[in-house]
Amino acid sequence: MSTPVAPEPTAKAELAPFVEGDFHVLSGGLARDPQYNDKRLETRRKLLSLAKVFVARAKSEAETELEPRTSLHNPHAFNQMQVKRLWAYCTRSKKEKTRLRGVLGSELGKDLDAAYRNLYLCVALEESALEISLRCHVDAWFDGQNLVNRVKGGGLDEWKTLLNRLPGYRLRLGDWKGEWNCGSLTGDRLEEFLKYYKPGEHALSVERRIEARPPERGGCLAPDFPERIVAELLALTPLYRFSAWSQASDWLFRK
């Protein structure tokens, strides 16, 4: 099933604090109820606004051009008629997709049209947690293989350094139970990860989950918490630049 294309809600590039209701409308009892669509749309707008702030700062501070999108806020066949998770994600720009399609050709280049086939940075809300992450979907083969080739081509130490600058995050392999905790990763542990990770077969993520239960929820509801999220997404940006297939990081077709 292809991802439904829904119009992005209107949202200014500003940081709005989260409230208890942003989490509550994603609970099991409300996730299927369409009468809460308006509230979920309000939360979706907050996420899009936050993503726009991050994208602007990533361009000016990290010289990285990204495009923000958000997930569906209403029950739909695509989300099994329930909204238990809302997220904003930032992936390569339309300009960069056009350039890469020129490299791949029109047929292969179509794979980049779907957002989930591109590496992306993400902030997501669930009933009990807020997640900040870098995610490579199982079908984002170009970016996943680019990362593998770069690491195996002499970039293991750099990858290790970038990951260990992110204490509190975990490198994860799909839905496997194994965890590789950032901040204390060794080369041996990362080589172990690469023995199992296969682009096109497994998803990869570097994620941090902040529990949305007292007293942690007070942190998520703090007025300055959205600014902290933007700062953490910026901290993940060097890892995005290292991993994503681009003109500056081409480990797929370089000679």
- Considering the domain boundaries, does residue 5 fall inside one? no
- pLDDT value at 6 more than 60: no
- Considering the domain boundaries, does residue 35 fall inside one? yes
Determine the angle formed by the axes of helices 141-150 and 225-243, rounding to 10 degrees.
Answer: 70
CATH number for the domain spanning 61: value is 3.30.930.20
pLDDT at 14: 85
pLDDT at 217: 66
Structural domains counted in the chain = 1
Segment 138-167 mean pLDDT = 97
Q: How confident is the model at residue 52 (pLDDT cuts 50, 70, 90)?
A: very high
- Considering the domain boundaries, does residue 12 fall inside one? no
- Poorest-confidence range of 92-96, 147-151, 238-242? 92-96
- pLDDT value at 255 more than 90: no
Burial 130-167 (b: 16+ CB within 10 A, else e): bbbbbbbbbebbbbbbbbbbbbeeebeeebbebbeebe
pLDDT at 16: 95
Tens-digit pLDDT profile for residues 162-194: 999 999 999 999 888 788 999 999 999 999 999
- Average pLDDT of the residues of the chain: 91
Tens-digit pLDDT profile for residues 30-45: 999 999 999 999 999 9
**Three-class SS of residue 195?**
helix
- pLDDT value at 1 more than 80: no
Q: How confident is the model at residue 114 (pLDDT cuts 50, 70, 90)?
A: confident
- Considering the domain boundaries, does residue 250 fall inside one? no
> DSSP assignment, residue 171?
E
Q: Which residue has the higher pLDDT, 249 or 113?
A: 249
pTM above 0.75, yes or no: yes
- pLDDT value at 4 more than 60: no
- Considering the domain boundaries, does residue 2 fall inside one? no
User: Residue 35 and residue 68: Cα distance in Å, rounded?
Assistant: 27
pLDDT at 56: 97
- Considering the domain boundaries, does residue 14 fall inside one? no
Q: How confident is the model at residue 216 (pLDDT cuts 50, 70, 90)?
A: low
Name the residue range of residue 134's domain.
Answer: 20-243
Segment 46-66 mean pLDDT = 97
- Considering the domain boundaries, does residue 52 fall inside one? yes
- Considering the domain boundaries, does residue 254 fall inside one? no
